[in-house]
Amino acid sequence: MIGPADVLLRRRNLVALDLMAGDSRGPRREQRLGAQAGVVALEAELLQFGFLLSAELRRSLAALPVAELAATGRGLLHRVASALGGHVHHVPMFRKFPESVPRDTEDFFVRRIFTLLLQEPRRPCVLCGKVGTVHPVAPCAHLVCRSCWDGSDFSACPICHRRIDPADPFLIPSARRERGAVINTYATAVLHACHDAGAASRELAGAMLARQTPMPQEDRDDLLTLLDAYWPLSAGWLPETIPVKETRAVALAAALTAPGPSHGRVARPEAGAADELLTRHLGTASDVLRLMYVLMGADPGLRVRPERRRSLPRRLRRTLLGLLDGFALPYLIEDLRRHGEQWKRMAEVLHPHEEHARHPHAALAFAALRGTRLDPSTAFGAALLEAAARHPGLLSVREGRLRVTTFATHVEAALAAKDAERALALLATRPGELGRRLSQLVRMAPDLVGGALAQALPGIAPGVLMSALGQLRTPPGGLRLFLPRGGTARLHSRNDERPALPDAAVLGAAELITGELLRRAGKLPPLACPLLDEGLADLVAPTSERADSTALVRLARGSLQPLPREQLIRLFLHWAEPEGTVVDLDLSVALFDTDWRFVGLCDYTCLRLGEDALVHSGDLTSAPEPLGSSEFVDLDVAKVAALGGRYVVPIVYSYNDVPFDRLTRGFAGFMRSPAELFDPRAVRQRFDLSGAAKILVPLVADLWEGTTRWADLNVSAFGGFHSVASTSNQLARMGAAVESAFGSGARVTLWEVACWHAAARSSSVLVRRGERVERLDRGRDEPVRDFADRLVARAERGEHSGGYERVDFAALVSGEVDLPSSAQVYALYPGRLGDVRRMDAADLISGLGASG
């Protein structure tokens, strides 16, 4: 079970000694000697996973009794191995991969089909003619010739590729694979000692609660873990306001309930006095719905409804109904309609009509939502009809049912009538909605938007502002990529045929937005010496992470990273199926030319492409526990480019249409030049397979530019059985749309966000350009906006400066620098970063939170 120790290790590289070790008082001398030898052995094991021990952590571990050191070491090794995917035994179809993969996939297929159709028991083999070599394998019972098929190489049935019983005589132990020579110097990360896990957990939870952008599921789970582990102490961690609604729901669920059996949640005995807490944090009906979803084990983003509805304690039910009843009726009805289907299901939990006398507004709103027929001859119907009559502009009655005219109805009517003044007047009352529709409003009324935007800016969240800025800067033409909410529906794209936005209006709106973000940054504590890395210009700012996959390296969709310089890149996939369900996943690679024309593929239908440009480890069609299944694809960069390919698109398919969330476990990723079949030190990215998706496109690699663009596209289905051959056109369209949508450079990047912080909070900034560090200073009378523009442009060269002694804020790609322990640091790859105050990318944005 995941606990605070796991969260602190994964997110902050902190080893929580007070949780992972017991009493270490008074070890005898022989124990200390044994512990020192154990620490050396542990560090050697950790180095295989790319981790080093800090000096303080090494001393702390050496002070532990030997038994506790052993237990701590085992737990630590398991945790770091799990993060990289090395906690499971990876066995591909061809155990001697890549050497033993058949050269001719078609010949291999024909031999399998020939055997399947003509092989008979107690008869000579139809392939080699030998007698006595044909036997069935378990559990599929296919007749396999021990002479034709190498039992020391295959890990599954050669005919159907399903895993077979490990005790089956067909499986012959293979020679131990010799570990290859380590050619590359792999990046390492430093682990630090944490003696007060509670304080570290509070700091981390506080940063997560203060975020201004939605978090992915992994982060929400981590927050819930921290709050649960330290309850009731963690009740004091909750701030007065929690900006993001999904985060708010998670925090309130932790306050109301405790972890229960079967991963459910049960009411806390002390939660009866939670009315004040709920009243303070639940401001809309959608807030209430998100909380109910979390209480029922579902997603607070409302993308996936609960598997089953659970009853709520009577007191909590009445409290929630009372909150709903207290909201202004127009907002309440609008909120219910916004998530109508979800609320119709939750109404069966709350029973609002049974409480109509006590909570008339709530009962009226649900009657309007459900289209309940109101009979004036009954007390219930008469009461609600009388209440509806008091809101003539909002509610009307037709054939005994309530009809609603909402805020959204008025806005859409104004937009349809091209009444820009009316639309702006309405949207000005809701700044967030104005920000989300900004590009549409600029296109409709470029001369009117500036004034409304200027008034609304203080109340718009930073993520919304940055998204709007990116949309304004996006040039017309190309392909538009539509990502349905939740990320697991069928994606689609279309040609962008919209007229260009007026330049003057775009520049004016962009000026207002940038000025507002700089103003907010200027209210933060000043910085003595910020350090920025120009490589951040390739990283898209994470304005919303709610649908992001859980990944080793956290990248926002559209971010670029260099393609590993090594010649060989090994993609990997591992999964395990639940008992009673067969899950057939496929790791595939599609290759396209510069115009996105299909060049070739590597999957179960083509195990080798070209002169070993791509080599597949073999198709496994089941993954029973405990072994599961693993597939690999080796990619030779130079040989793939020689085939005329430019874009490489790896894909994970659920061939038999089982969604990823049904898996017992599932993850994928890639390594650079591994020294063995699965080399944890060589893992550069690892991401989980999760959600209702059945197809995952993690990235698009551009061999000409030497880059990989993080796509993180989860697709429910393309229809039918899933393979590259049947979906190559859709993949080409999707890949082209990703490049078009994110390749223009219009999206706000982490480089811009870091520059806004630095320019508004300091007069002198260090900029890291490769191996060189330069200092840029703000002029004596230079406005902050001009200084920020100079930094963002990256054109000006500064004076050389190599010292980091005064750095108190850093935003870096690689953390391979020595910084003061008091520095606040974001690093995409922490590497050997010391014991500093770590930040996530979202924390950079949270500092620019709305002020009104």
Same domain for 611 and 535:
no
Tell me the C-alpha distance between 67 and 31, whole Å: 9
Distances (CA, A) of 832 to 190, 566, 814: 5, 22, 9
User: Rounded mean pLDDT of 310-333?
Assistant: 88
CA count, 13 A, side-chain hemisphere, 300 = 27
Residue 390 CB-density burial (10 A; 0-12 exposed, 13-18 middle, 19+ buried):
exposed
The domain boundary, picked from 743, 767, 799, lies at 743
Cβ atoms of 816 and 832 within 8 Å: the answer is: yes
3-state SS, residue 57? helix
Residue 488 pLDDT more than 60?
Answer: no
Q: Give strand ranges (E) for 5-105.
A: 14-16, 51-53
Q: What is the pLDDT of residue 849?
A: 85
Distances (CA, A) of 64 to 29, 69, 204: 11, 6, 27
Beta partners for residue 632, in sequence order? 572
Tell me the C-alpha distance between 268 and 512, whole Å: 47
Cβ atoms of 290 and 302 within 8 Å: the answer is: yes
Return the HEC string of 505-571: HHHHHHHHHHHHHHHHHHCCCCCCCEEEEHHHHHCECCCCCCCCCCECCCCCCCCEEECCCCCEEEE
Q: What is the pLDDT of residue 464?
A: 92
3-state SS, residue 261? helix
Is 51 a member of any domain?
yes
3-state SS, residue 370? helix
Tell me the C-alpha distance between 443 and 440, whole Å: 5
Residue 142 CB-density burial (10 A; 0-12 exposed, 13-18 middle, 19+ buried):
middle
pLDDT band at 190 (very low <50, low <70, confident <90, very high): confident
Same domain for 658 and 803:
no
Same domain for 626 and 653:
yes
User: Chain centroid to CA 181: how far?
Assistant: 34
Picking from 431, 415, 422, the residue whose alpha carbon sits closest to that of residue 512 is 431
Lowest mean pLDDT among 100-104, 372-376, 807-811: 372-376
Task: Give the range of the structural domain holding residue 30, as residue numbers without chain letter.
Answer: 4-90+184-194
Torsion of CA 740, 745, 750, 755, to 10 degrees: -170
User: What is the pairing mode between strands 479-482 and 492-495?
Assistant: antiparallel
CB-based burial, 79-89: b 16+ in 10 Å, e otherwise = bbbbbbbbebe
Is 660 a member of any domain?
yes
Q: Which helix (H) or strand (E) holds 575?
A: strand 568-576
Same domain for 606 and 753:
no
Tell me the C-alpha distance between 24 and 87, whole Å: 28
Cβ atoms of 814 and 828 within 8 Å: the answer is: yes
Provide the token pair at 275.
């009315």
CA count, 13 A, side-chain hemisphere, 624 = 11
3-state SS, residue 267? strand
- 732-781, pLDDT tens digit by residue? 888 888 888 888 788 999 999 999 999 999 999 999 988 888 999 999 89
In this structure, is the dihedral angle defined by the CA atoms of residues 710, 715, 719 and 723, taken in order, positive or negative? positive
Same domain for 801 and 724:
no
Same domain for 580 and 717:
yes
The domain boundary, picked from 701, 725, 743, lies at 743
Is 117 a member of any domain?
no
Is 115 a member of any domain?
no
Tell me the C-alpha distance between 620 and 460, whole Å: 50
As a residue count, the chain comes to 852
Lowest mean pLDDT among 9-18, 389-398, 491-500: 491-500
Picking from 727, 455, 688, the residue whose alpha carbon sits closest to that of residue 588 is 727
Phi-psi region for residue 302, left (φ > 0), alpha (ψ -120 to 50) or beta?
Answer: left
Global pTM reads 0.86
Picking from 669, 731, 743, 670, the residue whose alpha carbon sits closest to that of residue 705 is 743
Which range, 266-280, 706-720, 820-834, has the best average confidence (pLDDT)?
820-834
3-state SS, residue 650? strand
Same domain for 779 and 707:
no
Same domain for 717 and 759:
no
DSSP state of 94: B
Same domain for 281 and 395:
yes
Tell me the C-alpha distance between 350 and 295, whole Å: 13
Is 442 a member of any domain?
no
Provide the token pair at 837.
């105050």
Which residues have CB under 8 Å from 786's CB, separation 6+?
A: none
In the block, residue with structure tokens 């500064």: 798
Is 217 a member of any domain?
no
Beta partners for residue 701, in sequence order? 648, 708
Which range, 54-68, 306-320, 343-357, 502-516, has the best average confidence (pLDDT)?
502-516
Backbone angles phi, psi at 700, to 5 degrees: -125, 120
Domain count, the chain: 4
Q: What is the pLDDT of residue 181?
A: 45
- 702-734, pLDDT tens digit by residue? 988 889 999 888 776 665 556 787 778 888 888
Backbone angles phi, psi at 89, to 5 degrees: -90, 115
Is 174 a member of any domain?
no
The domain boundary, picked from 743, 767, 802, lies at 743
Distances (CA, A) of 102 to 540, 591, 607, 608: 42, 21, 7, 8
Beta partners for residue 608, in sequence order? 615
Long-range contacts, 735-738 (Cβ 8 Å, 24+): 735/592, 735/596, 735/647, 735/649, 735/697, 735/700, 735/711, 736/479, 736/493, 736/596, 737/479, 737/480, 737/481, 737/493, 738/481, 738/558, 738/700, 738/709, 738/711, 738/713
Q: What is the pLDDT of residue 604?
A: 92
User: Rounded mean pLDDT of 676-692?
Assistant: 87
User: What is the pairing mode between strands 647-654 and 695-702?
Assistant: antiparallel
Q: What is the pLDDT of residue 513?
A: 95
DSSP state of 234: G
User: Rounded mean pLDDT of 674-679?
Assistant: 88
Residue 27 pLDDT more than 60?
Answer: no
Is 652 a member of any domain?
yes
- 534-585, pLDDT tens digit by residue? 999 999 998 877 767 788 888 888 999 988 777 889 999 999 999 989 999 9
- Number of Cβ atoms within 10 Å of the Cβ of 364: 29
Beta partners for residue 670, in sequence order? 571, 685
Picking from 80, 75, 41, 74, the residue whose alpha carbon sits closest to that of residue 58 is 41
pLDDT band at 818 (very low <50, low <70, confident <90, very high): confident
Q: What is the pLDDT of residue 447?
A: 85
Same domain for 732 and 629:
yes
CA count, 13 A, side-chain hemisphere, 727 = 28
Beta partners for residue 765, in sequence order? 776
In 3-state terms the chain splits into helix, strand, coil percentages (rounded to 5) of 40, 20, 40
pLDDT band at 34 (very low <50, low <70, confident <90, very high): low
- 771-809, pLDDT tens digit by residue? 888 999 999 899 999 999 999 998 788 787 767 888 999
Same domain for 727 and 761:
no
Same domain for 777 and 838:
yes
Picking from 540, 518, 412, the residue whose alpha carbon sits closest to that of residue 457 is 518
First-to-last alpha carbon distance for the chain, in angstroms, is 41
CB-based burial, 765-803: b 16+ in 10 Å, e otherwise = bbbbeeeebbebebeeeeebbebbebbbeeeeebeebee
Q: Give strand ranges (E) for 8-162.
A: 14-16, 51-53, 134-136, 143-145
